[in-house]
Amino acid sequence: MGSISDHTDVTHDVESTLESTAPKELELNGDEIKFLLAKIAQLDFKGVEIEFAYNMIIKLQELYKQKVQ
């Protein structure tokens, strides 16, 4: 069995690994947003997907406007 300090070292190592692999803030440039909007435009949405897709597209369009201004 390990000592308490051994467990503390493992905990610290796990926390360090999680911090280094944690996703950074997502940022898309204008071309990436245009690409996503173009691909989304090619998809077929049905039923309850339509409202979700509409709201997501509006958000992407607003993000695109912010990027190109």
- The domain in which residue 59 lies consists of 24-69
Task: Let me know if residue 50 belongs to a domain.
Answer: yes
Task: Let me know if residue 31 belongs to a domain.
Answer: yes
The total number of structural domains in the chain stands at 1
pLDDT per residue as tens digits for the range 3-50:
554 445 545 555 565 565 656 788 899 999 999 999 999 999 999 899
Task: Let me know if residue 43 belongs to a domain.
Answer: yes
Residue 61 to residues 7, 25, 37, Cα–Cα distance (Å): 49, 19, 8
Task: Let me know if residue 61 belongs to a domain.
Answer: yes
Q: Which two tokens stand for residue 42?
A: 């090619």
Task: Let me know if residue 12 belongs to a domain.
Answer: no
Higher pLDDT, 21 or 61: 61
pTM of this structure:
0.59
49-60 mean pLDDT:
94
Task: Let me know if residue 67 belongs to a domain.
Answer: yes
pLDDT of residue 7: 47
Task: Let me know if residue 34 belongs to a domain.
Answer: yes
